[in-house]
Chains A and B, each alone.
Chain A
């Protein structure tokens, strides 16, 4: 036993096991495209890849690209279920990264993040269904708009949600942390209630009945309504988000955010205008939620106010907290973990128990269905994380790697220019 342990340790240090996971997991998923275990292993392989010390950044990037651009679509041909799951994870990853700007970087607790998501979703849904005909006469424009507009609406949704975030933030960002949290919570509830009731006097939102069918995106008139299409759209949006947020974080703005989180008064003494900086974080976070809202509406083809409850905000918050506040990779891992927990572990457990009951092995009350106890699980996760690991599983590690890269880049540019001058 001891020998085996030592052997494992040696392998672990040499990263043989890690490398095996990194390379074998995608293969396994390809071979067993309907196996939940293979899928979870595949997701885990990203974490292992991220943590690996053996492989350098370029190799890691290539592996990740192959996994996401080749393996996953191939798996999707055989079984669209996991492609759909990973698309959903992608949406949550972007949301978690967006919320991370507010909670992780700047230290502002936003409990109403889903409100901005709703703003984005309804912005698209109202115009991409016949709904807008209720308040815009057909002589101006006929609704629904075509799917080509989807791309435009990604930007409009961002701007709309960002603007709502700005309007909300303007008065409330001066409040202390916990008050701010409650106000954002109240705001999201207001949004939900308004969406539920704004079917009269003029029918804007169609109330609790929701909106459908929402037009899928289209590319020069070709509708993109397959899972694989959404997968790629989400992937592109995710990559853009990661790049943009990473750049922001490693800039004067990102440093100002972190400084505000660390010590507000000291930050002010350094000349950082805190209210505008907080507003910026708040609005940018909201804008990402708005963008994903548009995508969510298009992907679901049906939305109603019940998709935008408080539980959803807490789910996204749990992703940020679990992964590690202030860290983009942490947000990604957090989203993986939460979705896997929601969709797999709890659901599979439910199915398993139901199976046992049906088979008559044990009789388990349907009241005990684990899938119904999301709140219990999330509550427990939040409390345990707060007590034992408040920095999350992948805490932000501060390095100057980014800025050093900038220095090298500048040197390179300057050298090239010198050559061209000669």
Chain B
């Protein structure tokens, strides 16, 4: 069974059809990219999947659960994590606290454990702290645990956001333009990092990206959306040579040229 299965997904804003009847599927342990020109409906697609727009049409099945009409918090509880195009950290919390918030779903101490400071809470908190430090180290932010999230440089904020998403132990990680605003060197590092996350931690990854080089270099499968409609799907090589895709990106006249 597919990890994520989307059927006939449609989302309209007033008269505007942002996502139009999209079918989509991805398997476990895959890296899949959604690409498309600006305003094609990629982020809306993401937002629908992560539960922000309950009033959509079509079905979304994730890990055997039907996600229709769910809230973001329920979707997260099925262990789907995401990052945001315009980074959404908790700016006035420490980096390590940001990650601890991401672990919320895995911490079970109830209010009595907390008020009475019971042993299982102490243990849980201590372990969570250790793991948060490990996660920081894993994304390359070792030693930055005592800094406020807002004081990190831009690139490190992106990494922290990914670390926070990883704290959910996601079955599926959604990355919304992880390379936006990064220079070519950083983008290359991000690419390797995403592959590392899949290979070492075994998370499945779905990403939206503009940077073709990044997408072509790491995806198992690419889905192309334009004007809210899926226009192509396949391996990087197939998509690269698909005339529809070339047309969407470069316009009618240059349909013979290649994308990347």
Is the A/B pair a real complex? yes
Give the complex CA separation of A409 and B122 in angstroms: 8
A259: interface (CB < 8 Å): yes
Q: Give the most central of A266, A274, A398, A410: most B CB within 10 Å.
A: A266
B146 near A265: Cβ-Cβ < 8 Å: no
Stretch in contact with the other chain, from A18-26, A244-252, A328-336, A348-356: A244-252
Q: Give the most central of A259, A271, A280, A400: most B CB within 10 Å.
A: A271
B77 near A398: Cβ-Cβ < 8 Å: no
CB distance from A264 to the nearest CB of B (A): 10
| Chain A binding surface SS class | helix
A256 near B101: Cβ-Cβ < 8 Å: yes
B126 near A410: Cβ-Cβ < 8 Å: yes
A255 near B84: Cβ-Cβ < 8 Å: no
Chain A residues, CB < 8 A from B82 = 269
B104 near A398: Cβ-Cβ < 8 Å: no
A156: interface (CB < 8 Å): no
B114 near A400: Cβ-Cβ < 8 Å: no
Give the complex CA separation of A268 and B93 in angstroms: 16
B159: interface (CB < 8 Å): no
CB distance from B111 to the nearest CB of A (A): 7
CB distance from A54 to the nearest CB of B (A): 23
CB distance from A374 to the nearest CB of B (A): 32
Give the complex CA separation of A271 and B145 in angstroms: 22
B126 near A255: Cβ-Cβ < 8 Å: no
B114 near A248: Cβ-Cβ < 8 Å: yes
Question: Known contacts being A262-B93, A270-B164, A398-B93, is A251 close to B50, with CB within 8 Å?
Answer: no
A270 near B125: Cβ-Cβ < 8 Å: no
B88: interface (CB < 8 Å): yes
A255 near B97: Cβ-Cβ < 8 Å: yes
CB distance from B39 to the nearest CB of A (A): 21
A268 near B92: Cβ-Cβ < 8 Å: no
Give the complex CA separation of A263 and B119 in angstroms: 31
A400 near B72: Cβ-Cβ < 8 Å: no
Give the complex CA separation of A403 and B96 in angstroms: 11
A407: interface (CB < 8 Å): yes
B71: interface (CB < 8 Å): yes
A272 near B130: Cβ-Cβ < 8 Å: no
Which residue from A244, A266, A406 sits with its C-beta under 8 Å from B88? A266
Q: What per-residue 1/0 map shows which CB atoms of B90-117 lie under 8 Å from chain A? A: 1111101100111111010101001101
Q: What per-residue 1/0 map shows which CB atoms of B133-164 lie under 8 Å from chain A? A: 00000000000011010000000000000001
Chain A residues, CB < 8 A from B148 = 398
A251 near B73: Cβ-Cβ < 8 Å: no
Segment 218-251 of A: residues with Cβ below 8 Å from B: 244, 247-248, 251
Give the complex CA separation of A305 and B123 in angstroms: 47
B76: interface (CB < 8 Å): yes
A271 near B76: Cβ-Cβ < 8 Å: yes
Segment 146-201 of B: residues with Cβ below 8 Å from A: 146, 148, 164, 168
Size of chain B's interface in residues, with CB distance under 8 A? Answer: 44
B121: interface (CB < 8 Å): yes
Q: What per-residue 1/0 map shows which CB atoms of A177-192 lie under 8 Å from chain B? A: 0000000000000000
B94 near A403: Cβ-Cβ < 8 Å: no
Question: Known contacts being A247-B115, A253-B114, A255-B97, is A403 close to B89, with CB within 8 Å?
Answer: no
A400 near B96: Cβ-Cβ < 8 Å: yes
Give the complex CA separation of A258 and B148 in angstroms: 13
Give the complex CA separation of A140 and B247 in angstroms: 86
Which residue from A251, A258, A259, A273 sits with its C-beta under 8 Å from B125? A251
Give the complex CA separation of A259 and B81 in angstroms: 16
Which residue from A247, A272, A399, A413 sits with its C-beta under 8 Å from B104? A272
Chain B residues, CB < 8 A from A273 = 73
B249: interface (CB < 8 Å): no
CB distance from B37 to the nearest CB of A (A): 26
Question: Known contacts being A269-B82, A398-B92, is A252 close to B104, with CB within 8 Å?
Answer: yes
A268 near B129: Cβ-Cβ < 8 Å: no
Size of chain A's interface in residues, with CB distance under 8 A? Answer: 33
- Name the CB-closest residue of A to B79: A271
- Name the CB-closest residue of B to A410: B126
Q: Give the most central of A244, A268, A270: most B CB within 10 Å.
A: A270
A385: interface (CB < 8 Å): no
Chain A residues, CB < 8 A from B84 = 266
CB distance from A312 to the nearest CB of B (A): 28
Chain A residues, CB < 8 A from B76 = 268-271
A400 near B105: Cβ-Cβ < 8 Å: no
CB distance from A125 to the nearest CB of B (A): 28
CB distance from A287 to the nearest CB of B (A): 12
A267: interface (CB < 8 Å): yes
Chain B residues, CB < 8 A from A266 = 84, 88-90
A400 near B145: Cβ-Cβ < 8 Å: yes
Give the complex CA separation of A272 and B103 in angstroms: 10
Give the complex CA separation of A400 and B128 in angstroms: 12
- Name the CB-closest residue of B to A413: B119
Chain B residues, CB < 8 A from A244 = 115
Chain A residues, CB < 8 A from B96 = 400
B73 near A272: Cβ-Cβ < 8 Å: yes
A265 near B114: Cβ-Cβ < 8 Å: no
Segment 261-300 of A: residues with Cβ below 8 Å from B: 262-263, 265-274, 280
Chain B residues, CB < 8 A from A406 = 122, 125-126, 129
B71 near A268: Cβ-Cβ < 8 Å: yes
Q: List 19 A-B contacts (CB under 8 A).
A: A244-B115, A247-B114, A248-B115, A252-B104, A253-B114, A255-B101, A256-B104, A262-B93, A263-B88, A265-B88, A266-B84, A267-B90, A267-B101, A269-B76, A269-B81, A270-B168, A271-B73, A400-B97, A400-B129
List 5 other contacts, CB 8 Å, given A247-B114, A269-B76, A406-B125: A251-B114, A259-B90, A266-B90, A269-B73, A399-B94
Residues on B lying within 8 angstroms of A by beta carbon are 50, 52, 71-73, 76-77, 81-82, 84, 88-94, 96-97, 100-105, 107, 109, 111, 114-115, 117, 119, 121-123, 125-126, 129-130, 145-146, 148, 164, 168
